[in-house]
């Protein structure tokens, strides 16, 4: 099956700093999503981005499908950005199940 | 649009007991998925339905697990003869064909 690798595994920032999270995947995909998991376990949709670039407020994401990676940018980080960020992909042959990476644990300190 | 809901949010059970979880998808979403997440890991796919048909099951879904979606709306996931290794967060998601899956708040299962 498809492999999904996220980096870095852990990231500690001061409030106001910018960061870039990376997701590499091993095969062609139909779907790529970025999620933020809050401390209560809820997975919150950030982006549906199988290719191209999208922006939503302080967050933006870019997926280069031909090179099999995606980047999530967080600008002017806030303490409420803390949590785990997951990348998940649906490979072309899967029939629609998502395969998740192991996540990036982000801590934003005041 | 009320989002995906799951019930219960937390369940504590003794080893050997049966448990059942419910998921209500976003209305009109024809696809429904179950995932399991253990501590420190990303969610892992268990099974998915398109309408009432169960189209795919992971090998993680042992014969003690069964899922149904009888009328193509809500779904149930039952675990029989629970084991301590079943302790995890059980997540439900729903979607149309595009653009992506939307997750519920999860059911946290603790087997003592």
Query: Is A41 an 8 Å CB contact of chain B?
Result: yes
CA–CA distance, B32 with A94 (Å, rounded to integer): 15
The count of CB pairs under 8 A between chains A and B is: 55
- Phi/psi of residue A30, nearest 5 degrees: -85, -30
Please, which residues bridge with residue A89 across strands? A32, A99
Query: Is A103 an 8 Å CB contact of chain B?
Result: yes
At B1, is the pLDDT very low, low, confident or very high (cuts 50, 70, 90)? low
Q: Is there a contact between B43 and A43 if contact means CB atoms under 8 Å apart?
A: yes
3-state secondary structure of A82: coil
Q: What is the pLDDT of residues A62-80, one digit of tens each?
A: 999 999 999 999 999 999 9
Residue B2 has pLDDT above 80, yes or no: no
Q: What percent of chain B lies above the pLDDT cut of 90?
A: 79
3-state secondary structure of A78: coil
Q: What is the mean pLDDT of residues B62-74?
A: 92
At A95, is the pLDDT very low, low, confident or very high (cuts 50, 70, 90)? low
Poorest-confidence range of A33-42, B18-27, B51-60, B70-79? B51-60
Contact residues, chain B, for A31 at CB < 8 Å? 98, 100
Query: Is A83 an 8 Å CB contact of chain B?
Result: no
Q: Which pLDDT value is given to residue B60? A: 80
């Amino acid at each position: 099956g498809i492999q999904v690798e996220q980096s870095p595994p852990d990231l500690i920032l001061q409030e106001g700093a910018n960061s870039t999270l990376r997701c590499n995947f091993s095969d062609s995909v139909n779907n790529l999503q970025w999620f933020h998991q809050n401390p209560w376990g809820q997975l919150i949709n950030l982006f549906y981005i199988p290719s191209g670039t999208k922006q939503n407020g302080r967050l933006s994401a870019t997926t280069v499908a031909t090179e099999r990676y995606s980047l999530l940018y967080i600008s002017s980080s806030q303490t409420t950005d803390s949590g785990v960020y997951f990348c998940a992909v649906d490979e072309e042959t899967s029939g629609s199940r998502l395969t998740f990476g192991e996540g990036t644990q982000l801590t934003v300190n005041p | 649009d009320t989002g995906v809901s799951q019930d219960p949010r937390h369940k504590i059970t003794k080893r050997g007991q049966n448990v059942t979880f419910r998921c209500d998808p976003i209305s009109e979403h024809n696809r429904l998925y179950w995932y399991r997440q253990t501590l420190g890991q990303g969610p892992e796919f268990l099974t998915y339905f398109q309408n009432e048909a169960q189209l795919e099951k992971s090998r993680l879904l042992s014969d003690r697990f069964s899922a149904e979606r009888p009328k193509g709306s809500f779904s149930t996931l039952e675990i029989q003869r629970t084991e301590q290794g079943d302790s995890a967060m059980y997540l439900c998601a729903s979607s149309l064909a595009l653009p992506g899956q939307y997750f519920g708040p999860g059911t946290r299962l603790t087997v003592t």
